[in-house]
Amino acid sequence: MTSIDLPNGRAIERFTLSPPRSFPRATPPFPRIALAAAHVVADPRAEQDPWLDAKVDWDRTIAFRRHLWALGLGVAEAMDTAQRGMGLDWAGAQELIRRSLDAMRDVPGAVMASGAGTDHLAPGPDVTVDDVIRAYEEQCEAIEAMGGRIILMASRALSKAARGPADYERVYGRILSQLREPVIIHWLGEMFDPALEGYWGAGDHYRAMETALAVIAAHADKVDGVKISLLDKEKEIAMRRRLPKGVRMYTGDDFNYAELIAGDAEGHSDALLGIFDPIAPAVGGALAALSAGDLKGFHGILAPTVPLSRHIFRAPTRFYKTGVVFMAWLNGHQDHFTMVGGQQSARSIGHFAELFRLADAAGLLRDPEMAVTRMRGLLAVHGIA
């Protein structure tokens, strides 16, 4: 059995790994839509200022998208998991979307939607609602020109410029009316991005929900679904039950996704999740079980991943991308643990040690010996031999 000495507080404890799990495979369509928000792979050998530049290893980045498609998952591209607004700017996002769309055309049945926002417009006192509209239009037009589907991301600039719900209704109404295909609206909570507190014109999520629902109802033909990332299953279920017929709820709840996807007597959520990036093999296996009507098998696969997800997304939640990339490194999807913006430093060695244990418990370390070798290297950098 493969073992490693890991920190537990200030103590060092011997940890013995379990064999990796073998997950069932099936071919879509699945009974739920599952989009994985995918990370980008940094290029550590590029000449750069690591905290300021975003040098991307495009080959490894696109290879990871092929890995997701091969498991039957769709890709949510250029989202916050790809460090959008935390290292990856709009210019980099355009290049990422273009390359991913080119790769997708070679994969039969592949699905992808891409984030359009206003991140090239810096929030400020002089930024108006009209400026926000023009910024959204620019990004939406660019993605549509490439042949992409759109995920309409929340806007930091709108959060600062809006004076109330009416401004949100105006902006979203204007943008939705112009789009060619139905979009996914993304309501990203302040736990993921503090600059988005009070989105939809209210600090209370239930009051904010009323504005979001009004926008969706007024433009239901242009809305494929809504993804809410509030880490509160009751809020998601409450909104899900009030959506117009034909509008999907895409869970963004990285704490409670298993039960939300399974659903209840009144409905279920589809999924667009950052945690699907590191747990993709388990997601594919769980959806295969669900396709076979095996709800027990579905929960048997996904339930062990939930503690891992809750750890990766623990507060400060915005640093979850570090855990996502750490998992990609442990599993050999990239040969280094380096992130754009230097974000590999956003979590402690104790956090990584517990993440390692939880990944093992979920059966998600596909090559335990490689994972141990890499973890030992990280421990050595932190002065733990």
**Average pLDDT per consecutive 10 residues, the chain (385 residues; last block may be shorter):** 94 96 90 98 91 92 98 97 94 98 96 98 97 98 98 98 98 97 98 97 98 98 98 98 98 98 96 98 96 96 98 97 98 97 96 98 97 98 91
325 found inside a domain: no
* 204 falls within a domain: yes
How many folded domains does the chain comprise?
Answer: 1
Q: What is the CATH number of the domain that holds 287?
A: 3.20.20.70
Cβ–Cβ < 8 Å for 111, 76:
no
Tell me if 26 is assigned to some domain. no
DSSP state of 376: H
Collapse the DSSP code of 222 into the 3-class scheme (helix H, G, I; strand E, B; otherwise coil) and give the result.
helix
List, in order, residues 6 or more apart from 268 with CB less than 8 Å away: 32, 260, 261, 262
Whether residue 113 is contained in a domain is answered as: yes
Report the pLDDT value the prediction gives residue 53, as an integer from 0 to 100.
83
Dump strand ranges (E) for the chain. Answer: 3-8, 11-16, 34-37, 74-77, 112-116, 150-152, 183-188, 223-229, 248-251, 270-273
Residue linked to tokens 């014109």: 201
Q: What pLDDT does residue 50 have?
A: 83
Q: Is residue 348 part of a domain?
A: no
Please give the residue range of the domain that contains residue 46: 31-303
Quick check: bond before 50 cis, omega within 30? no
Structure confidence at residue 25 (pLDDT): 85
Closest CA to 339 of 60, 62, 55: 55
Q: Is 145 among the domain residues?
A: yes
Kindly state the greatest CA–CA separation across the chain.
Answer: 62
- Tell me whether residue 262 is in a domain: yes
Residue 133 has which token pair?
Answer: 């509209």
